[in-house]
Structures are given as structure tokens and as C-alpha cells.
């Protein structure tokens, strides 16, 4: 089912208003979710809307948060999200980073007491629009085992680095630090397909290609998959995200990060508050004139796109390019939603007395 972006946007805003969000928060949260669907990252868009509502039902999401700075220097801050939607807490924090960067060249904000923040790329792009370099990271519910372990200790903990370019689109690196994102696993689960070796291990720590292994005690593997191929590096990157997002802010880290799903209870005796994010912005002109940087970015992009190909039909893909192509198509043609998501959304419509899709 393909639905136009404006129709979905209005619907999503109405759902957020229905759980008590302010108009400004409902519009912002809808913008973050829609950006994900527009960019083709279906796992982080409207597919999650019903899940946010279920967490609100359980009082684990506060729809009227008092988001505030609890500690700061001219270029650093810690923000407490008051258990609000990450979809509004993270842009609030990135806005602070941008304002600090405007004054002092750079700004860095660690966030505690938040929830799932959508796609990291949304927040990175906020900086790019100001001719800044954006950093965005978040920790997440534990699904990934460190190298040599079979215990779920880390989330898929994404990192985003976002760079403005000149005549070309910005370069947006936005990636889970696990070998495969959970969304890819969910697609395999739904379609009954096996997954490549190196994505997951079973309860005992043996490789498996069964995408359902995660539900029976298995775990995702870090980027690199095994020690020989650098899984300790994927673990190190994921640890970096966890520390910058949560140890630095006073959020929960490691296995204590609260689950994103309402049917699983948070771990007992958590060391911190909610989940954590880390957001940063650096002015390009804090290092060199913007025009010079953009000219070199364009040259960088062109040189990499023209790199020699293994398969003549497949050029090198610049980070962010597939998402931009998806966005151009979906703005025009609408957003495709799978039946399960449409069903979820129509149930929300009935519950809140909204017009269904």
C-alpha cells in the first residue's frame, strides 16, 4: 500500500497529539519519523509508531517532557530528556550543539533519560544545513554480543557522521555498528529466509543462519562478524557509542539499556536514566573557508564515484546516496507500507478516533 507523504505526516502528527504531545513536538516527531520512511529506512519510520504508543501506555515515554540542560560549559552540555520521545529530545540537543558551534566553533551534547531517536541521519543533517559537520550516535536495547561473548550486551548502536558538499549531495555515513541492522533480520524473519553466516549466533555462540535465533537466546554479531575479520573493532565502535551516549551523560549503558519494546520490562537496578545519545556539530569554517571545503568535497565525491569497478554495472556508492535517491522517488510517488504496519496504524486510528489510512 502506497500512501502520500502529506497524508502520512498529518496522520502521524494526530497520533502524537492524541497521546498528549504539544503541537510543536507532534510536528517535530512526525518529521523525524517521516524522514526515515522517505529515505527508505522503513524499519525506523512509521513501522515504529505503534511501539511508541505502547511505551507511552506503559508510562515509559513521557509525552509532555521538561527537556533541559543539567550541566554545561561553553561547548559541551548534558541534557536530561525527562523520558520524552527521542524524536524530540535529540533535535533539542542537536540544536544546543549547533548554537554552541555558532558561538565557539563546535558544540557537543550528551543526552540521558531519552528514548529511541529515529534515524541518526536526521540529526546529523540538522548540522549540515548550517554548513556544519554533524555527529549523531545513540545507544539502544541490548541485542549484540561483544567478541568472545554470547550475551546481549550492546545495542546496534548507530554512528552518523554528516558532511556538507557543494554541488553534490551531502555525504551521510549512518550505520549500525553491528554486522547487520536488526531491521534486516526482521525482513528475513517475515519472509522466512535464512540470513548470511556472520550476522547472528545462537545461544551457545555458534554461527547460525536462522533469523529467529535472536528470540531463543541468540545475539547479533558486531561489525566484522568474527575475531579474524575484526569483530573486536565493531565491538570497540559500539562501546564508543555506548560510552559517549550514556556513561558520559548518566544514562543506562550496556545490558541495562531499556528495551524498545513494551512487552519486555527494563532491567532491574539500572545504573542511569533512560537511554543515551551523543550529538555534535563543528562549523566547517572553524577549519577553512566553506567554499574551499565544499569544492574539495565535490572533488572527493567525484573521484570516489569514478573509482575502478569490480562489476562494470555497479559503481561505488557514496554514503547517503541511496537514501537520497529513495527520498526523491518517495516524495513524488508516496511511501510504501507493508500490510502489518498499515494494520497497526489503522488500529491507532480506531483507538484515537482518527480517519484511517
Name the segment binding a copy of itself (CB under 8 A); options: 4-12, 17-25, 294-302, 346-354: 294-302
Maximum pairwise Cα distance, the chain: 56
Cell 509508531 belongs to: 49
14 binds a copy of itself (CB under 8 A): no
The correct pick among 167, 309, 343, 351 for binding a copy of itself (CB under 8 A) is: 309
Site string for a copy of itself, 33-52 (x = CB under 8 A): --------------------
341 binds a copy of itself (CB under 8 A): no
- Judged by CB under 8 A, the chain residues 265 through 284 that form the site for a copy of itself are 271-272, 282-284
Number of residues located near a copy of itself, criterion CB under 8 A: 88
In sequence order, the 6+-apart residues with CB closer than 8 A to the CB of 296 are none
- Judged by CB under 8 A, the chain residues 172 through 211 that form the site for a copy of itself are 173, 175-177, 179-180, 196, 198-199, 201, 204-205
d(C-alpha 55, C-alpha 52), whole Å: 5
Q: Are strands 219-220 and 275-283 parallel, antiparallel or unpaired?
A: unpaired
Cell 543539567 belongs to: 70
- Judged by CB under 8 A, the chain residues 93 through 112 that form the site for a copy of itself are 104-106, 108, 110
Name the segment binding a copy of itself (CB under 8 A); options: 41-49, 55-63, 68-76, 122-130: 68-76
CB of 254 to a copy of itself, least distance (A): 5
d(C-alpha 271, C-alpha 247), whole Å: 9
Of the pair 9, 277, the CB lying nearest a copy of itself is at 277
86 binds a copy of itself (CB under 8 A): no
Which three cell numbers, joined as nine digits, stand for 165?
558538499
d(C-alpha 42, C-alpha 53), whole Å: 18
The correct pick among 38, 119, 125, 153 for binding a copy of itself (CB under 8 A) is: 153
d(C-alpha 123, C-alpha 92), whole Å: 10
CB of 44 to a copy of itself, least distance (A): 16
317 binds a copy of itself (CB under 8 A): yes
288 binds a copy of itself (CB under 8 A): yes
The correct pick among 223, 275, 337, 348 for binding a copy of itself (CB under 8 A) is: 223
- Nearest alpha carbon to residue 241 among 335, 312, 317, 142: 142
In sequence order, the 6+-apart residues with CB closer than 8 A to the CB of 92 are 67, 79, 81
Using DSSP, state whether 342 is helix, strand or coil.
Answer: helix
The correct pick among 240, 267, 327, 334 for binding a copy of itself (CB under 8 A) is: 240
Distance set, CA 168 to CA 72, 79, 135, 282, 325 (Å) = 36, 34, 20, 20, 13
Of the pair 269, 355, the CB lying nearest a copy of itself is at 269
Amino acid at each position: 500500500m502506497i500512501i502520500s507523504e502529506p497524508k502520512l505526516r498529518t496522520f502521524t502528527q494526530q497520533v502524537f497529539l492524541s497521546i498528549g504531545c504539544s503541537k510543536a513536538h507532534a510536528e517535530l516527531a512526525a518529521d523525524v519519523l517521516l524522514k526515515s520512511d522517505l529515505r527508505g529506512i522503513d524499519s525506523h519510520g512509521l513501522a515504529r509508531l505503534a511501539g511508541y504508543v505502547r511505551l507511552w501506555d506503559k508510562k515509559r515515554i513521557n509525552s509532555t517532557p521538561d527537556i533541559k540542560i543539567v550541566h554545561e560549559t561553553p561547548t559541551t552540555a548534558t541534557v536530561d530528556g525527562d523520558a520524552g520521545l527521542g524524536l524530540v529530545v535529540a533535535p533539542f540537543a542537536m540544536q544546543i550543539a549547533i548554537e554552541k558551534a555558532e558561538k565557539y566553533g563546535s558544540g557537543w551534547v550528551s543526552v540521558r533519560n531519552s528514548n529511541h531517536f529515529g534515524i541518526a541521519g536526521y540529526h546529523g543533517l540538522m548540522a549540515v544545513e548550517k554548513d556544519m559537520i554533524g555527529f549523531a550516535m545513540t545507544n539502544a536495547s541490548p541485542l549484540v554480543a561483544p567478541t568472545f561473548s554470547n550475551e546481549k550486551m550492546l545495542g546496534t548502536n548507530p554512528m552518523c557522521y554528516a558532511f556538507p558538499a557543494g554541488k553534490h549531495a551531502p555525504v551521510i555515513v549512518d550505520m549500525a555498528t553491528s554486522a547487520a541492522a536488526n531491521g534486516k533480520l526482521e525482513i528475513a524473519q517475515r519472509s522466512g529466509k535464512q540470513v548470511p553466516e556472520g550476522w547472528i549466533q545462537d545461544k551457545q555462540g555458534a554461527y547460525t543462519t536462522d533469523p529467529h535465533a535472536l528470540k531463543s537466546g541468540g545475539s547479533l554479531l558486531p561489525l566484522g562478524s568474527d575475531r579474524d575479520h575484526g569483530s573486536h573493532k565493531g565491538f570497540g565502535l559500539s562501546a564508543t557509542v555506548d560510552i559517549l551516549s550514556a556513561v558520559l551523560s548518566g544514562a543506562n549503558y550496556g545490558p541495562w539499556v531499556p528495551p524498545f519494546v513494551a512487552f519486555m520490562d527494563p532491567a532491574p537496578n539500572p545504573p542511569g536514566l533512560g537511554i543515551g545519545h551523543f550529538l555534535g556539530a563543528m562549523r566547517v569554517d572553524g577549519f577553512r573557508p566553506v567554499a574551499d571545503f565544499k569544492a574539495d568535497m565535490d572533488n572527493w565525491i567525484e573521484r570516489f564515484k569514478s573509482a575502478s569497478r569490480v562489476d562494470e554495472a555497479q559503481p561505488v556508492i557514496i554514503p547517503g546516496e541511496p537514501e537520497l535517491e529513495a527520498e526523491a522517488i518517495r516524495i513524488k510517488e508516496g511511501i510504501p507500507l507493508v500490510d502489518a504496519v498499515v494494520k497497526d496504524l489503522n488500529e491507532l486510528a480506531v483507538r484515537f478516533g482518527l480517519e484511517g489510512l
